[in-house]
């Protein structure tokens, strides 16, 4: 049995999503405890991914495909696990604000967050304040991240925060902002909780917000 | 001296460097045409969509434009093959085209190493002034960019403040960036005030509009409007879609080149539809390199090479490129090596406008010291590439060699006296022997570069603009500031 868990971990590391899902189903059928499969197989695999990513041996696309394999395994396990047992660094709602099509930075941050174990919900580019509000209501994220590249659109970060306040949802989330013209001072001025200057530091800031 | 007349001279004046074969160029061009006609790209601007539709492009799904090859071929025929750029005073400054290279800094670094403290801090408007003074003073730099994004002016109007400083503090040509269409209208308005009207600015253009549309696939409204605004006025635009290999474009260089080239060709077609013959400047296509371990966008990676430059030369359009910059966090040996090698590579490839000199930390931090170093190194490259070998009676000096012979020396001859000042001499690079180097303070290159930066900042005073012109330029900035306060 331990061999199969080892195999799950290593298939996860290689990003073989179908095989991971099949193996998880197989050990479940053999009667193994879902919690044990989770910690001994999936989490063990992701831990190794995290270690090697940090050491520079794994590249971001490889981390993403491993994360996808993790999700495939989780989809099999989730119905059998208590909510509190589902591992996630936190749910993160992300989007580029209204009027702004620039989504490269936003996509980078999203990828890095996923690699770090966050569950992300991506609202895409040109996201209107109402769309943020609706998504916060629906998904109840821990963090909302907003991106803007233009000085003309960064003001929509403020509008979005105001919309969340009006909807009575502001206190339920932490808000992070970023993008080329955005500064720490601007983040403070509009009432965001945090600012990150690039994708790597966004992950660290997000971690500290949910810690 | 013998009086010999030679026929059948062949003279190689420069390194010949090409990285694509004719067949590869044709294949990439075809690939770009296929992407444009088959996949199409989105234009988020109604006027652009109308222009494309009227010209016979296929517009569907709201804003997806598929451009037929014949429009591209037409635009490539109508675009100017060379562009003369003047300085603020109407003197010829850059003849863009062919294999002629000109050099300038970059725009909008958030941080600077303070020249007096060495401390890394947020840049302010005074740093923009200092950067412009430096470029104005340095002999091998040809055009000005803002270098820094000032934190001490309103974020809504910082581009106007940058433009005002560039116009006021240097006579050299300007490449200006703008994220918004309105700031470009103001930038051109300021340039018109300096030139004395639009006609005179058109006759002697000294500002270049630099547009970065979102990506090859997505041409955002602000970027497109900036292109159309300049094209309508027959002013030159550099149009470079921002693509990252592995992110907005294939990770493989050929695919990224075909796609980003398609984005530039689409911009070219649009510029020519707006005004036939309007000047358009290519970017070195190929997509930026993301380090796949960290997703940091490198400014000094060798991977993309300068393949895009060969494409632009094939089209015969002026080309804009990036060099003299580094991913190093400080001005250290890595910075000097990456800056020097990239400058050399860009020059031999024939990039016309070489920008981003002085960038560190992947375009986050600007270093005035690195700018000074690059100026020195451009001098080195200039000498190396212009150093054509003249073979003549005077330079071969066979009579002299025979006269001096094995037992004499050349030091005291008139010939040596005549020619001893022809070699290139360094200013920052040190050639002293060890003892003299110690006696002169045992300084490092970084220290000498900083010293030179300070000397220039303390002594260089650019030629001022007439008071009345300064007032007109300033009024545009003040108006924008007031508007920003009103709508805040």
Contacts of B220 (CB under 8 A, 6+ apart): A101, A102, B44, B213, B214
Q: Is A167 on the interface with B (CB under 8 A)?
A: no
Nearest-CB residue to A104 (from B180, B248, B293): B248
User: Does B16 have pLDDT greater than 80?
Assistant: no
- Contacts A114 to B, Cβ<8 Å: none
> What confidence tens digit (pLDDT) does each residue in B257-299 have?
999 999 999 999 999 999 999 999 999 767 889 888 888 889 9
Nearest-CB residue to A111 (from B214, B215, B295): B295
Both tokens of B275, joined, read 């005004």
Q: Which residue of B has its CA nearest to A203?
A: B294
Residues 37-76 of B with CB under 8 A from A: 44
CA atoms lying within 13 Å on the CB side of residue B233: 26
CA atoms lying within 13 Å on the CB side of residue A67: 23
Run of H or E residues at B58:
strand B58-60
Do B269 and B48 meet the contact criterion of CB atoms below 8 Å apart? no
pLDDT score, position B10? 58
CATH second-level architecture of A2-85? Orthogonal Bundle (1.10)
Domain boundaries, chain A: 2-85, 90-210
ipTM: 0.78
Range with the lowest mean pLDDT among A103-112, B137-146, B401-410, B473-482?
A103-112
> What confidence tens digit (pLDDT) does each residue in A91-105 have?
999 999 998 888 888
Helix axes B46-55, B253-274, angle to 10 degrees: 90
CATH class of domain segment(s) B76-385? alpha beta
State the first-to-last Cα distance of chain B, in angstroms, to the nearest integer: 81
Both tokens of B469, joined, read 């012109």
- Contacts A107 to B, Cβ<8 Å: 247
Look at B220 and A101 and tell me if their CB atoms are within 8 Å. yes
> What confidence tens digit (pLDDT) does each residue in B69-90 have?
999 999 999 999 999 999 999 9
Domain boundaries, chain B: 76-385
CATH second-level architecture of A90-210? 3-Layer(aba) Sandwich (3.40)
Q: Is B244 on the interface with A (CB under 8 A)?
A: yes
Q: Which residue of A has its CA nearest to B215?
A: A102
Q: Which residue carries 């190396």 as its tokens?
A: B384
- pLDDT band per the 50, 70, 90 thresholds, residue A84: low
Look at A183 and B151 and tell me if their CB atoms are within 8 Å. yes
Closest-CA residue to B85 (of B162, B147, B142): B142
User: Does B103 have pLDDT greater than 80?
Assistant: yes
Cα–Cα dist B63/B98, whole Å: 36
Do B58 and B39 meet the contact criterion of CB atoms below 8 Å apart? no
User: Does A181 have pLDDT greater than 90?
Assistant: no
Instruction: For residue A177, give how far its alpha carbon lies from the nearest alpha carbon of chain B (Å).
Output: 15
User: Does B394 have pLDDT greater than 70?
Assistant: yes
Look at A154 and B293 and tell me if their CB atoms are within 8 Å. no
Q: List A93's β-bridge partners, or say none.
A: A121, A144
Q: Is B360 helix (H, G, I), strand (E, B) or coil?
A: strand
Q: Please give the interface size between A and B, counted as residue pairs whose CB atoms are below 8 Å apart.
A: 58
Q: Is B242 on the interface with A (CB under 8 A)?
A: yes
Q: Is B252 on the interface with A (CB under 8 A)?
A: no
Alpha-helical (H) ranges within B2-155 are 22-34, 46-55, 69-78, 125-137
Q: Is A150 on the interface with B (CB under 8 A)?
A: yes
pLDDT score, position A85? 72
Q: Is B248 on the interface with A (CB under 8 A)?
A: yes
Strand order in the sheet with B174-177: B102-105, B353-357, B319-322, B280-283, B237-239, B207-211, B174-177
Q: What is the C-alpha radius of gyration for chain A, rounded to an integer number of angstroms?
A: 19
Give me the mean pLDDT over the B399-418 stretch.
Answer: 95
Nearest-CB residue to B246 (from A61, A183, A200): A61
> What confidence tens digit (pLDDT) does each residue in B117-142 have?
999 999 999 999 999 999 999 999 99
> What confidence tens digit (pLDDT) does each residue in B142-192 have?
999 999 999 999 888 999 999 999 999 999 999 999 878 899 999 999 999
Both tokens of B14, joined, read 């420069």
Equal fold, A2-85 vs A90-210 = no
Residues 94-133 of B with CB under 8 A from A: 108, 110, 122
Q: Which residue of B has its CA nearest to A55?
A: B293
């Amino acid at each position: 049995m331990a061999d199969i868990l080892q195999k799950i971990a290593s298939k996860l590391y290689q990003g073989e999503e179908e095989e991971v899902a099949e193996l998880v189903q197989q050990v479940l059928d053999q009667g193994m405890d879902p919690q044990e499969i989770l910690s001994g197989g999936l989490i063990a695999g992701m831990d190794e991914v995290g270690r090697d990513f940090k050491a520079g041996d794994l590249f971001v696309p490889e981390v993403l495909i491993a994360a996808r394999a993790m999700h495939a395994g989780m989809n099999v396990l989730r119905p059998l696990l208590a909510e509190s047992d589902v591992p996630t660094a936190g749910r993160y709602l992300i989007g580029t604000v209204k009027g702004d099509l620039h989504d490269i930075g936003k996509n980078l941050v999203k990828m890095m967050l996923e690699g770090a174990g966050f569950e992300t919900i991506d609202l895409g580019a040109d996201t209107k304040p109402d769309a943020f509000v609706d998504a916060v209501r629906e998904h109840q994220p821990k963090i909302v991240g907003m991106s803007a590249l233009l000085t003309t659109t960064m003001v929509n970060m403020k509008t979005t925060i105001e919309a969340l306040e009006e909807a009575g949802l502001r206190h339920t989330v932490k808000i992070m902002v970023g993008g080329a013209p955005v500064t720490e001072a601007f983040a403070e001025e509009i009432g965001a909780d945090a600012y990150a200057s690039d994708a790597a530091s966004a992950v660290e800031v997000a971690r500290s917000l949910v810690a | 001296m013998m009086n010999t007349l030679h026929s059948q001279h062949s003279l190689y004046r420069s390194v010949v460097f090409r990285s694509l074969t004719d067949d590869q160029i044709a294949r990439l061009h075809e690939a770009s045409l296929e992407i444009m006609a088959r996949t199409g790209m989105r234009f988020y601007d109604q006027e652009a969509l109308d222009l494309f539709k009227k010209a016979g492009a296929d517009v569907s799904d709201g804003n997806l434009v598929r451009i037929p090859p014949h429009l591209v071929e037409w635009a490539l025929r109508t675009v100017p093959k060379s562009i003369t750029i003047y300085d603020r005073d109407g003197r010829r400054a850059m003849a863009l085209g062919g294999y002629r290279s000109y050099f300038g800094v970059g725009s909008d670094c958030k941080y600077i190493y303070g020249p007096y403290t060495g401390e890394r801090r947020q840049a302010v408007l005074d740093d923009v002034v200092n950067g412009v003074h430096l470029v104005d003073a340095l002999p091998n730099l040809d055009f000005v960019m803002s270098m820094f994004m000032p934190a001490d002016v309103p974020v809504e109007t910082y581009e106007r403040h940058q433009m005002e400083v560039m116009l006021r503090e240097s006579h050299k040509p300007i490449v200006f960036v703008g994220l918004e269409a309105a700031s470009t209208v103001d930038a051109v308005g300021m340039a018109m005030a300096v030139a004395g009207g639009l006609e005179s600015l058109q006759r002697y253009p000294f500002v270049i509009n630099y547009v970065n549309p979102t990506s090859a696939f997505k041409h955002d409204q602000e970027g497109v409007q900036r292109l159309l605004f300049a094209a309508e006025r027959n002013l030159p635009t550099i149009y470079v879609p921002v693509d990252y290999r592995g992110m907005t474009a294939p990770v493989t260089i050929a695919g990224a080149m075909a796609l980003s080239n398609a984005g530039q060709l689409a911009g070219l077609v649009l510029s020519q539809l707006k005004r036939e013959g309007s000047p358009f400047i290519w970017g070195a296509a190929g997509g930026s390199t993301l380090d796949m371990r960290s997703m940091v966008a490198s400014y000094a990676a060798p991977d993309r090479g300068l393949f895009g430059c060969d494409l632009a030369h094939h089209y015969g359009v002026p080309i804009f490129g990036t060099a003299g910059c580094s991913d190093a966090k400080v001005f250290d040996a890595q910075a000097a090596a990456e800056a020097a090698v990239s400058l050399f590579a860009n020059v031999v490839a024939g990039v016309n406008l070489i920008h981003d000199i002085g960038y560190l930390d992947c375009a986050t931090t600007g270093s005035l010291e690195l700018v000074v170093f690059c100026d020195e190194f451009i001098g080195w490259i200039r000498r190396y590439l212009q150093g054509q070998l003249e073979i003549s009676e005077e330079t071969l000096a066979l009579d002299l060699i025979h006269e001096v012979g094995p037992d004499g020396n050349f030091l005291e001859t008139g010939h040596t006296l005549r020619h001893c000042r022809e070699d290139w001499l360094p200013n920052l690079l040190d050639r002293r022997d060890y003892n003299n180097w110690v006696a002169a303070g045992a300084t490092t290159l970084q220290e000498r570069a900083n010293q030179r930066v300070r000397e220039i900042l303390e002594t260089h005073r650019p030629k001022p603009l007439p008071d009345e012109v300064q007032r007109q330029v300033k009024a545009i900035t003040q108006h924008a500031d007031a508007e920003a306060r009103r709508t805040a």
